[in-house]
Amino acid sequence: MEYWSIEGGRPLGGTAKIHGAKNAVLPIMAASLLVDRAVLYRCPVLTDVDAAARILRALGCTVTRCGETLTVLNTEGVCCETLPEEPAREMRSSILFLGALLARCGRARLSFPGGCELGPRPIDLHLMGLARLGAEIREDGGFLDCRVNGRLRGTQIALPFPSVGATENLLLAAATAEGETIVTNAAREPEVTALAEFLNTCGADIVCDGDRIRVRGVGELHGCAFAIPPDRIEAATYLCAAAATGGEIRVEGVCPAHLAAVLPFFEEMGCRLDVGEDTIELAAPRCLSGVGCVRTMPYPGFPTDAQAPLMAALCRSEGSTLFIETIFSARYRHVGELLRMGACISTDGRTALVRGVGRLHGAGVACTDLRGGAALVVAALAAEGETRLCETHHIERGYSDFVPLLSALGAEITILRQEEPHFV
Ligand code: EPZ
């Protein structure tokens, strides 16, 4: 069994170059089903991207990678409308192939998506929206069987909640639908905008105007080359790691505007920030201060994906911080592991109160999900002594080259193998 050994207590220092965003590349890979050729630059090396590539291959595409450039060729046309179960169950974004397949083939069959366990993650808004565009959706023994008679037809769709995935699925389905689609209370995340930009580069006619998106359906789309935008959550995680260790780092190739709701918290914690066009420099004090209250919200609010790493950084601080998780109902699974490291956190439903402590200590801990796993790495880097972290496959779903990059920033982190786990 693989695990990571982290010797904490060293301030991080140096430069971290940010990769393309996982949550942007996955919907764009689904969108590549709509064109004959897509060349994606800055495509991160992640197990979720591998899973999406496996799905595309099973559907008849040729997917090749050269470094951070991924090419999807779809010249033979999609040969299958059923998503392969195993990769589909591995990740939540497999649901996005539904909108793309319905638009491309008028038919799709898939099992319910997997992904991080953050509490119930229904897909009712996806299905409601696609049905409004004319899809007939039938549940058949754990599978969704969907089809369209003729083309999807544009219409007005008001989302009760600005779901990222549902908005993206509607863009994928409406881009080549007949007529105009208006989505209101749509998600505004930069990853949604990136998908609209990719589709527009392929000849679509989409206008994102705050939480209102207008899509004029076009007859067909053409191939393109597209650069995946930087991963704002990866950048936030490195900034949390530097803050937690009293370090000084520079993140490069980032879009600071995408972190407008996050950066003020670092200043409130006592860090000094220097923000450039595509760089952020952070210098942390020896001891961080609590920041009162962090409420996660849809974009442009504080991102739920940065909640766990920020919580880990604030475990060792003066004062307390209240977290209110408004997006997912069970996104504190990392708290139990942080308590093993000497943190002082009490949770009650969607709130968590972090009372800062003077020191954390190393322990045997297990990743519970992607961002929870990253949080344990942040805490381990700040802790005294060794932490042994297992179930690290969760982290590899969303952080490219995490261990070598942290080592380059001065962290003492090693990937080890052990026959039998006996430390958790
Ligand atoms: C995307 O998930 C991201 N994943 C998540 O990042 C992120 O946490 C989330 O958006 C919110 O920002 C990807 O982009 C691949 P939602 P998604 O649909 O699309 C409820 C990470 O760590 N809802 O906006 O699944 C849902 O249960 C991952 O990188 C419905 O009720 O998020 C949740 O409570 C984790 N019905 C809320 O909306 C629906 O049909 C937000 O979900 C859809 C969603």
Q: Encode pLDDT of 312-335 as tens digits.
A: 999 999 999 999 999 999 999 999
Residue 227, classed as helix, strand or coil, is: strand
> Which tokens belong to 220?
């067909």
DSSP strand E in 148-300: where? 156-158, 180-184, 205-209, 212-216, 224-227, 248-252, 272-275, 279-283, 288-289, 292-295
DSSP string, 331-350: --TTHHHHHHTT-EEEEETT
Compute, in angstroms, the gap from residue 93 CA to the centroid of ligand 1. Answer: 9
For β-strands 62-66 and 69-73, DSSP reports them as antiparallel
Which residue among 163, 233, 295 has the greatest number of ligand 1 atoms within 8 angstroms of its CB, and so is best to mutate?
Answer: 163
Q: What is the pLDDT of residue 240?
A: 98
Q: Give yes or no for residue 23 CB within 6 A of ligand 1.
A: yes
Q: Give yes or no for residue 161 CB within 6 A of ligand 1.
A: yes
Compute, in angstroms, the gap from residue 116 CA to the centroid of ligand 1. Answer: 10
Residue 264, classed as helix, strand or coil, is: helix
Of the listed ranges 143-147, 154-158, 185-189, the least confidently predicted one is 143-147
Compute, in angstroms, the gap from residue 178 CA to the centroid of ligand 1. Answer: 28
Q: What is the pLDDT of residue 424?
A: 47
Q: Give yes or no for residue 96 CB within 6 A of ligand 1.
A: no
Q: Give yes or no for residue 328 CB within 6 A of ligand 1.
A: yes
* CA–CA separation, 213 and 217 (whole Å): 13
Distances in whole angstroms, Cα of residue 27 to Cα of each of 88, 152, 194: 13, 19, 9
Q: What is the pLDDT of residue 419?
A: 63
Tell me which residues are annotated as active site.
116
For range 145-162, the mean pLDDT = 96
Position 423 pLDDT exceeds 80: no
Residue 389: which of 359, 424, 345, 419 has the closest Cα?
A: 424
User: By the 8 A CB rule, do 2 and 397 touch?
Assistant: no
Amino acid in position 400: S
Q: Give yes or no for residue 370 CB within 6 A of ligand 1.
A: yes
Q: Give yes or no for residue 165 CB within 6 A of ligand 1.
A: yes
pLDDT in tens, 81-129: 788 888 888 888 899 999 999 999 999 998 877 767 777 789 999 999 9
Q: Which atom of ligand 1 is nearest to the CA of 123?
A: 40
Q: Could you tell me how many helices (H) and strands (E) the chain has, helices first?
A: 14, 25
Compute, in angstroms, the gap from residue 328 CA to the centroid of ligand 1. Answer: 8
Q: What is the pLDDT of residue 276?
A: 98
Compute, in angstroms, the gap from residue 163 CA to the centroid of ligand 1. Answer: 6
> Which tokens belong to 71?
């090419």
> How many residues belong to the chain?
424
Amino acid in position 89: R
Q: Which atom of ligand 1 is nearest to the CA of 91?
A: 15
Q: What is the pLDDT of residue 167?
A: 98
User: By the 8 A CB rule, do 196 and 208 touch?
Assistant: yes
Q: Give yes or no for residue 340 CB within 6 A of ligand 1.
A: no
Confidence of residue 215 (pLDDT cuts 50, 70, 90): very high
Q: Is residue 153 packed enough to be buried (19+ CB in 10 Å), middle (13-18) or exposed (0-12)? A: middle
Q: Which atom of ligand 1 is nearest to the CA of 189?
A: 12
Q: Give yes or no for residue 305 CB within 6 A of ligand 1.
A: yes
For range 27-55, the mean pLDDT = 96
What percent of the chain is predicted at pLDDT more than 70? 97
User: By the 8 A CB rule, do 388 and 5 touch?
Assistant: yes
pLDDT in tens, 362-421: 999 999 999 999 999 999 999 999 999 999 999 999 999 999 999 999 999 999 987 654
Which residue among 25, 28, 327, 399 has the greatest number of ligand 1 atoms within 8 angstroms of its CB, and so is best to mutate?
Answer: 327
Q: For 272, list phi and psi in degrees, rounded to 5.
A: -100, 130
pLDDT in tens, 229-280: 999 999 999 999 999 999 999 999 999 999 999 999 999 999 999 999 999 9
CA angle 264, 327, 363 (to 5 degrees): 75
Q: Give yes or no for residue 228 CB within 6 A of ligand 1.
A: no
In this structure, the number of other CB atoms found within 10 A of the CB of residue 290 comes to: 17
Compute, in angstroms, the gap from residue 277 CA to the centroid of ligand 1. Answer: 29
Q: For 33, list phi and psi in degrees, rounded to 5.
A: -65, -20
Compute, in angstroms, the gap from residue 171 CA to the centroid of ligand 1. Answer: 16
* Alpha helices in 133-189, H assignment, sequence order: 164-174
Q: Enter the DSSP assignment of 229.
A: P
